[in-house]
Amino acid sequence: MKKRILLIGAAALAALALVQQPSHDQDLWAASREKVRTIAGLIREGYFQPPGEQLMAEASIRGALETLDPHSYFLDPSSFSRMREEYTGKYFGLGIQIQKQGENIVVISPIEGGPAWRLGIQPGDVISHIDGESTVPISSYDAMQKLRGEKDVPVTITIVRDGLDSPFELTIVREEIPLLSVPYAFLLEDGIGYIYIRNFAEHTPSELEDGLAKLTAQGMTSLILDLRLNTGGSLMQSIEVSDLFLPRGSLVVSIEGRNPAYDRAFPASMNGQYEDLPLVILIDQGTASASEIVSGAVMDHDRGLVVGEDSWGKGLVQTVFPLASNMAVALTVAQYLTPSGRFIQRDYTEIDDYLLSKRAPEDTREIKYTNAGRKVLGQGGITPDYQVNSLLKPVTGRLRLSGVFFSYARRFAQHQTELGRKFVFPGEPEAAGKIMVGRTFLVNDDVVADFRRYLADRKVDYDENAFLGAELEIRRELEREIAGAVWGVNEGIRVARLTDPVVMKAIEVMPEAARFLEKK
């Protein structure tokens, strides 16, 4: 028996040896494919138990793509569905924003009019189980995937609500929910508009135009366009967004591929839009791809200023090739250049450094020049005109991740803290001896002290010196969450932006951005 096994092994090795020795005139690519077929046949016929052929096929595709670059990847049914949701701007689900806070999946806000909102889901509700499975060991992304799915299919969630003695279950039928790529558009101060673009999807240009029209009607005279944490999306939508701000004929981006069929330049095609609106763009390390195209085009044409941190540095273009109705590959087919000719892709030779977003050494980056002769750099993302570090201090980050800012604000607004019981919030009847809250709320020493008492009650530990060193940040976090609890999520975001160091710098340099327009 032992001899027979050895003979089988020898035969298999001989077969492999034949495949591994292609003749000189044999095409290397064809020989490599033959190796794959041979190995697949050996596994199918000789493996000690029936192999998972679908898993093997998907693993081989992933393995092949991983040898290329970090942005060529396989879309399995789950990720393919997610990509389509992001691009089309809609999904089937319950209509709730959730966040992982400590061990809990917490509802941040139900979407007004959605199925969860109609059934009374409230901000601060904890989703302890989804279809009977505990949410403690899963991430917010995994929870989101479980809540989303096929239309008209019910999902049963278990809710733990503060003030109730026991959890309760709700069965909610999934419906189509809009997924906006431009979720926030509001005025800050002195006619300065603020618009946040979450990603570049099918309807991003029209959503942005709607936001611009709304703010123009409200008296907007300049714009802060926030592209932080915008990881990109569709190339064509980034070109349409850039076109809104650039004069007709201005080059937005050019792409170059090994296959000349992909070589193309994309100029702005329309005038009479927002070419004369003073503009500052915000970026950070999470700004990538399509959002870097917009930032690079605005910077290289001296159309506006860029404020924040070095962007990610993704200068590669992918095309999605379907493999089946529910799976595909995204293959890098070209690189793109900004109008000045910059290739902004960061070096990914050391993949760990690349994924950790390590900044490219300045002496390795090529130098190009804007229309007005300003120096700009390649090979490392978009370096802003003004650097502003927006990273939270460790103690603030830990407190935010634990959810205590959010949970304190809910209790404060519901008069469940010592200080919260002294206030009357908008929409509540007046009460003698209590403080009426008007249109704004500023966090003072009393609120910080009340928050500290809340942390003590919750037995949340923190370093006293670290807390004092981060108190300005902590006050900003509290102001955002209290405004959100009292006036809604959108107002909470607006309040946060007013004290955001990056936004404050953008407001400071807006006159300089306006002077670019005077020189044209």
Which residues does the annotation mark as catalytic? Answer: 289, 300, 314
HSE on the CB side for 282, CA within 13 Å?
Answer: 26
Structure-block tokens of residue 75: 């879309």
Number of alpha helices (DSSP H) and beta strands (DSSP E) in the chain: 17, 23
- Amino acid letter, 280: V
3-state secondary structure of 189: coil
Q: Are 495 and 479 in contact (CB under 8 A)?
A: yes
Beta bridge partners of 178: 90
Q: Can you tell me the distance from the alpha carbon of 135 to that of 174, in angstroms, rounded to the nearest whole number?
A: 19
Largest CA distance in the chain: 97
Cβ-based neighbour number of residue 365 at 10 Å: 19
CA 182/CA 193 separation, integer angstroms: 14
Q: Chain-centre distance of CA 136, in angstroms?
A: 23
Residue 104 bridge partners (DSSP):
101
Check residue 233 and report its DSSP letter.
B
Characterize the bridge pairing of strands 222-226 and 279-283: parallel
Whether the CA torsion 463, 468, 472, 477 is positive or negative: it is: positive
Q: Torsions phi, psi of 405, nearest 5?
A: -60, -50
Distance from C-alpha of 453 to C-alpha of 459, rounded to nearest angstrom = 10
Cα–Cα distance list, 277 to 160, 247, 404 (Å): 48, 12, 40
Separation CA 161–CA 120 (nearest Å):
11
Angle at 455 between CA 496 and CA 431, to 5 degrees: 70
By three-state DSSP, how is residue 462 classified? coil
Rounded Cα distance between 100 and 139, Å, is: 7
Chain centre distance of CA 328 = 22
Residue pair 277/222 in contact by the 8 Å Cβ criterion: yes
Nearest to 211, CA basis, from 229, 224, 228: 224
Place of tokens 């977003």: 357
Bridge partners of residue 328, in order along the sequence: 75, 322
Rounded CA-CA distance 45/263 in Å is 45
